[in-house]
Amino acid sequence: MGEDFREIQDYLGKIVGNVERVIVGKRGAVELSLLALLCGGHILVEDVPGVGKTSLASALSRSLHCSFRRIQFTPDIMPSDITGFSLYNQKTGDFEYRQGLIFSSLILADEINRASPKTQASLLEAMEENQVTVDGITYPMAKPFMVMATQNPADFVGTYPLPEAQMDRFLMRISLGYPEFMDERDILRRFKEEDPEVKPVARVEEIVALQQAVRKIHVDDSLYDYIVYVVSATRRHADVALGVSPRGTLALFHTAQARALCMGRDYVTPDDVKPLTEPVLAHRIVLKPESKLRRVTAAQVLEDILGRVPVPMGRQA
């Protein structure tokens, strides 16, 4: 491992530490958010209100000194509000494009499941292809670009469940959860007089360069097999009605590369893959109705699969 990779590890650790100035005791969620950013992916945060979802997105954007926009999804928000629209200019006689709310480096799509399915679908092209097409004209998104969408798992009144195709667009699903006792005491102390200030510690162009570096991290042939075995096992599991798609296979592959980079290595190990299976794959699995009645969870299915699939021998973390 060269000096450059230790510098990258320190650099990414500085970003995580900077975000932790306002997100206390949730290092795992902060690190996963950074992994998603390095992969050019998007995150679904399924959590109750008030645990710091907006603060996480805002602190991450301020750490990178990139543009940030919070979109509150409601039943009356329209697809054109998201993607933009063409407006006729009487002076010039031409149609002019007005950008929608999606044009920002980091988007917090708050309570995404409160918007109609048509409005939810307006995000798909931007999330998948980093572009928006309006009236046959394509407009590229900023780099880096990440959507952090939230939904409340405990409130189903006036909501529209995200379809499987849209869930599959999210690189990972995470949850912040309530803080531990000592962490919540620390929150009171930090925010007693004023909110902690988060200053930029990274540049956008450096993050874009690291996104390219992620794809160059070495993956041994045995780990190619291991990842495919794990994913394909979800399609044959007795409790699963719909297993993980090849998009999920790629997601697990690239997040493992990103984790290796964050750990200061130029190669992936099984220990990079295993802790990422739940956040990357669980939301892509559809369980059978009878399995749900038995309170089986996607996390349990993945734990069972990891226990059955042989781990390749080789370099460990």
77-108: pLDDT as tens digits: 999 999 998 888 888 878 888 999 999 999 99
| Mean pLDDT score, 117-124 | 87
- Is residue 89, in this structure, part of any structural domain at all? no
Bigger pLDDT: 6 vs 238: 238
Q: Lowest-pLDDT range, 44-58, 273-287, 298-312?
A: 44-58
Beta strands at 146-151 and 137-140: parallel, antiparallel or unpaired: unpaired
Specify whether 144 is located in the same domain as 287: no
Residue 93: predicted pLDDT: 79
182 and 223, same domain (yes or no):
no
Q: Is the pTM of this model over 0.85?
A: yes
pLDDT band at 2, cuts 50/70/90?
very low
Q: What is the CATH number of the domain that holds 159?
A: 3.40.50.300
196 confidence band (pLDDT: 50, 70, 90): confident
Q: Which of 161, 195, 214 is the last residue of a domain?
A: 214
Does residue 155 carry a pLDDT above 70?
A: no
d(CA 179, CA 99): 38
Token pair listed for 82: 């998201």
Q: What is the pLDDT of residue 6?
A: 84
Average pLDDT score, the chain: 90
pLDDT at site 165: 81
Q: What are phi and psi of 98, to 5 degrees?
A: -110, 120
Same domain for 146 and 5: yes
Same-domain status, 113 and 205: yes
Domain coverage including residue 266:
216-310
Q: Which of 170, 148, 153 lies closest to 56 in space, CA to CA?
A: 148
Give residue for tokens 């010039």: 92
CB 183 within 8 A of CB 277: no
> Per-residue pLDDT averaged across 61-66, rounded?
90
Q: Are residues 113 and 49 in the same domain?
A: yes
- Residue 117 pLDDT > 90, yes or no? no
Same domain membership, residue 155 and residue 35: yes
